[in-house]
Amino acid sequence: MTLSNPTSVLFACNLNAIRSPMAEALVKHFYGSHIYVDSCGVEVGEQDAFATAVMQEMGIDLSHHRPKSFDELQDSSFDVVIALTPEALACAEDLARATSIDVEYWPTTDPGSYGGGEGTRESRLAKYRALRDEIAALIKKRFGADHTASA
């Protein structure tokens, strides 16, 4: 069952390098301009080549993503903030204290936590693909059928 769809969403994770940029890009891919979406991190990380690679497999270009923190947001008037990590949840709740922003928590696994940078390139990419697909499923469950399905 989907909740009513917001018009603006902020995804947040720890470094705005993997999970939240994937979620932002997937919402843009699935829903186009029907939902305004942005992403940020608790801190600023560095662009992640594995995240870029697995999103490119879907035809989504993350190469121009520039990680940013909550402090660097140009706008904080979102309908909902979706936190993908416990640390991001704490920051989202702080942001929501003085506003009417709803906060949701979607716990997701850091693909680097399965042994960090260990393993072959293909085994590491498999972890990122699993995360991408997990986030895509959560997005479709929350926001309903994507608008690209009929295109």
> What's the order of all strands across the beta sheet hosting 36-41?
36-41, 8-13, 80-83, 102-105
Exposed, middle or buried by CB within 10 Å (0-12, 13-18, 19+), for 18? Answer: buried
Quick check: is 100 in a domain? yes
145 band by pLDDT with thresholds 50, 70 and 90:
confident
* pLDDT attached to residue 99: 84
Alpha-carbon distance of 29 to 67, in angstroms, equals: 19
Report the percentage of the chain scoring pLDDT > 70.
91
With residue 8 as reference, give the H or E element that holds it.
strand 8-13
Quick check: is 92 in a domain? yes
SS3 content of the chain, % helix, strand, coil (to 5): 45, 15, 40
Which residue has tokens 């498999």? 126
Rg, C-alpha atoms of the chain? 15
Quick check: is 150 in a domain? no
> Tell me, what CATH number does 119's domain have?
3.40.50.2300
Q: What is the mean pLDDT of residues 119-145?
A: 93
Residue 106 predicted with pLDDT over 70: yes
116 band by pLDDT with thresholds 50, 70 and 90:
low
Q: What is the mean pLDDT of residues 88-117?
A: 85
Domain count of the fold of the chain: 1
Q: What is the pLDDT of residues 46-84, one digit of tens each?
A: 999 999 999 999 999 999 999 999 999 988 889 999 999
With residue 83 as reference, give the H or E element that holds it.
strand 80-83
Alpha-carbon distance of 44 to 20, in angstroms, equals: 12
* pLDDT attached to residue 77: 87
Buried b (16+ CB within 10 A) or exposed e, 119-145: eeeeebbebbbebbeebbebbeebbee
Quick check: is 1 in a domain? no
* pLDDT attached to residue 151: 40
Quick check: is 29 in a domain? yes
Q: What is the pLDDT of residues 3-25, one digit of tens each?
A: 678 999 999 999 999 999 999 99
Q: What is the mean pLDDT of residues 94-114?
A: 87
The sign of the torsion formed by the CA atoms of 106, 90, 51, 143 equals positive
Quick check: is 148 in a domain? no
| Token pair belonging to 24 | 């932002």
Quick check: is 57 in a domain? yes
Q: Which domain, by its residues, includes 21?
A: 8-143
| pTM for the full predicted model | 0.91
Quick check: is 2 in a domain? no
